[in-house]
Amino acid sequence: MATGRSVRQSVRGFNASRVRVLYEDNHLVAVYKPSGTLVQADSTKDPTLIDEVKYYLKQEHHKPGRVWLGLIHRLDRPVAGIILFAKTSKGAARISEQMRCHTIKKIYHALVIGRPPEPHGTLVHFLKKDPKRNMVQAFTAEQPEALRAELDYELIKAGERFSLLKIQLKTGRPHQIRAQLSAIGCPVVGDVKYGAPEPLPDRSVALAATSLSFELATKAERQTVEIPVPEEWSAYL
């Protein structure tokens, strides 16, 4: 399991921003994304994680000029967890190929309202995006322009009102976990967009990317990066 370190810097629009590096080699860097942080720029023009990491690389490795950083995958703004970036074109190509071949293992944990019908299982839905509302709708049968979405889940712990689930993605669709869990009557805590009755105080949702397993860019060696389940979730269980 890779361990992390935090680097405190100051960069365009960031006040003493923190970059928590979980893993780094010559081609790849994995960092922790706090909930509420954008991965890349959008219409809000708020600070982004990709700019933070570029600044970290520039300062940490004394890189002259502009720093290149490849965006390989994303997390929704209210979701926390592990993000993997490519530092080189070779790293980007190798990881992108693993994404296409579904050999990267992504594990999430979610605190949900209610309890799934079975303690473990596979969910398959067809997701159709509504760009006006920036959300997706999950259907149990194929629909025009809908994309197939699949995940496995396991019930880790259940309380009277809430449950902790471990989730392994089989496909990577926008809002997939949030929409699929809502579709079975178990919306993520705080996720008012997908059926939760109220937001969390910090506007996050109780969903975190907790483990990412991939093969390194230059050798046949598998690397797993992990973070713990957020401690504050235990208060619900």
Tens digit of pLDDT for each residue in 88-120?
Answer: 999 999 999 999 998 999 999 999 999 999 999
Tell me how many degrees the CA angle 174-207-92 measures, rounded to the nearest 5. 50
| Same domain, yes or no: 38 and 63 | yes
Residue 140 belongs to a domain: yes
pLDDT at 2: 60
| Same domain, yes or no: 143 and 90 | no
Asked whether the beta carbons of 151 and 167 are under 8 A apart, the reply is yes
Q: What percentage of the chain's residues is helix, strand, coil (to nearest 5)?
A: 20, 40, 40
Which residue has 């490795």 as its token pair? 61
| Same domain, yes or no: 113 and 93 | no
Q: Which residues contact 129 (CB under 8 A, 6 or more apart)?
A: 135, 136, 174
| Same domain, yes or no: 112 and 185 | yes
Single-letter amino acid code for the residue at 173:
R
Assign residue 125 the CATH number of its domain.
3.30.2350.10
Q: What is the mean pLDDT of each run of 10 residues along the chain (237 residues)?
A: 46 54 96 95 88 92 90 94 96 94 95 97 96 93 95 97 97 96 98 97 96 94 97 95
E strand segments, the chain = 5-11, 14-24, 28-33, 70-71, 80-86, 105-113, 120-130, 135-139, 147-158, 162-169, 207-215, 222-226
| Same domain, yes or no: 118 and 99 | no
C-alpha separations of 229 from 140, 152, 171, 204 in Å: 30, 18, 22, 15
| Same domain, yes or no: 99 and 120 | no
Q: How crowded is residue 1: how many other Cβ atoms within 10 Å of its Cβ?
A: 10
| Same domain, yes or no: 77 and 61 | yes
pLDDT at 18: 74
Residue 206 belongs to a domain: no
**For residues 112 and 164, what is the distance between their CA atoms, to the nearest angstrom?**
6
Residue 200 belongs to a domain: no
pLDDT at 89: 95
Environment class of 16 (CB within 10 Å of its CB; exposed 0-12, middle 13-18, buried 19+): exposed
| Same domain, yes or no: 95 and 29 | yes
pLDDT at 209: 98
pLDDT at 10: 35
Residue 162 belongs to a domain: yes
Strand partners, 148: 126
Residue 15 belongs to a domain: yes
pLDDT at 4: 53
Model's pTM, two decimal places?
0.90
Domain that holds residue 134: 108-194
How many distinct structural domains can be found in the chain? 2
Residue 139 belongs to a domain: yes
**For residues 187 and 58, what is the distance between their CA atoms, to the nearest angstrom?**
40
| Same domain, yes or no: 55 and 126 | no
| Same domain, yes or no: 13 and 99 | yes
pLDDT at 9: 36
| Same domain, yes or no: 168 and 153 | yes
Tens digit of pLDDT for each residue in 114-146?
Answer: 999 999 999 999 999 998 888 999 999 999 999
Active-site annotation, residues? 76
Residue 81 belongs to a domain: yes
Residue 154 belongs to a domain: yes
**For residues 134 and 154, what is the distance between their CA atoms, to the nearest angstrom?**
28
| Same domain, yes or no: 24 and 74 | yes
